[in-house]
Structure 1
Amino acid sequence: MLHASSRLRGALTLLLTTAALPAAAAHLELQGGRSYMDNHGANAAFVEATFAPHAIGASGKLDWSPDVSVGWIDSRDVRRYRNAEFDTSQSVALLAAGARFHYGAPDAWYRPLFFSFQVAATNHTTQALSSHYQFVSTLGWQAEHLSFQLRHVSNGGLNGPNRGETMALVGVGFDL
């Protein structure tokens, strides 16, 4: 079981690391959509910041950007999980950090497509997110002020039922 002081230390470390990144090169997005565990839906919202890209390799066609997000997934009332060890009665907040990857020349038609991978910590366990640590993978398209994303959050089978959350998100963003 993760203690509150450990979660607080982790959150402060992530916050300080994020604050050290150059704010002038940040893209901030507000995202919302619907998340599903099996066929049970719930609302989801995220605030995500992506920072300046860094080239991978000599060709410079592949790059990565630091990527941090804070999210919220609403609870569900699913009768068969009431009073279970991992129920669905609580909303979940998560804090995630990782990298976003783009491929191609800056003017390539496919350049707005991206894949990101993050590691997250959650405040509650549920039937879908059954541990306090999760993996977040996202496939999306980002224009200057609009994005569409398919995101999956799961603990990768580390603990409990591992149903995961799969969501479709629409984002509105701006450069800082």
Structure 2
Amino acid sequence: MSLRPLIRSALVLTLVTAALPAAATRFEVQAGRSNSNGHSANTAFVEAVFAPQPLGQTRFTWSPDVSLGWIDGRHVATDNSRYTTRDSVALLAAGARFHLGGTGDWYQPLFLSEQLAVTNRATHALSSHYQFVSTLGWQAKHFSVAIRHISNGGLHRPNTGETMALVGFAFDI
């Protein structure tokens, strides 16, 4: 297995991160289990969430959100199609994290994140190199929990996607 795509993705993430304002940058290291078609695998992400910006005159804020992720492969006995689940997948995603309310509101730590991602290979679950990433979560000062779904949105078949539960440790720089 070649590390070249992962190194290339890390370099792109570094360049994108350097181009964004560093003020109030939140870094999260997340790990969990992903499920696709009843088969689970380990997964890990490193995510950078930048300073929140107001969304017009609303009570919503948005933050640029960049992720570098890894989903382990699975060995499934019936895995004999063109797209298998054996290969691990690295992905690079960028988008926005949305919050509602001010810092004192009880619901403000809840967030919704939408991202577009590129992957280093196609699998049965992620059958194209371009994916949509949707995350619903809760964040505290140094902790986060989230449910994340990654799928190509039906642009290419098969389209089973990956659904994962993540727990993260966070720190600000």
**TM-score normalised over the length of structure 1:** 0.90
The aligned runs of 1:17-28 (5 Å cut-off) are 17-28=16-27
The aligned runs of 1:111-126 (5 Å cut-off) are 111-126=108-123
2:145 paired residue number: 148
2:131 paired residue number: 134
One-letter code of the match for 1:71?
Answer: G
1:73 paired residue number: 71
What is the CA-CA distance between 1:110 and the residue it aligns to?
0.3
What is the CA-CA distance between 1:14 and the residue it aligns to?
5.4
The aligned runs of 1:1-176 (5 Å cut-off) are 15-59=14-58, 61-82=59-80, 84-176=81-173
Cα contact 2:10–2:68 (8 A) shared by 1:
no
Q: Percent identity?
A: 61
In 1: Cα distance, 2:88 partner to 2:108 partner:
35
In 2: Cα distance, 1:11 partner to 1:174 partner:
19
- Structure 1 stretches of 4+ with a deviation exceeding 6 A read none
Cα contact 2:117–2:132 (8 A) shared by 1:
yes
Q: Structure 2, unaligned stretches of length 5 or more?
A: none
Deviations 1:12-40 (A, max 9, x none): 66543321112232100100000000210
One-letter code of the match for 1:53?
Answer: P
One-letter code of the match for 2:164?
Answer: M
User: In structure 2, the residue corresponding to 1:121 is in which secondary structure?
Assistant: strand
User: In structure 1, the residue corresponding to 2:154 is in which secondary structure?
Assistant: coil
> Bigger CA drift: 131-140 or 72-81?
72-81
Question: Alpha carbons of 1:136 and 1:56: their partners in 2 closer, same or farther (altered >3 Å)?
Answer: same
Cα contact 1:81–1:127 (8 A) shared by 2:
no
Deviations 1:145-174 (A, max 9, x none): 000000000000111210000000000010
Query: How many residue pairs align between the two structures?
Result: 168
What is the CA-CA distance between 1:80 and the residue it aligns to?
1.3
How well do the aligned residues superpose, as a CA RMSD in angstroms? 1.7
Q: Structure 1, unaligned stretches of length 5 or more?
A: none
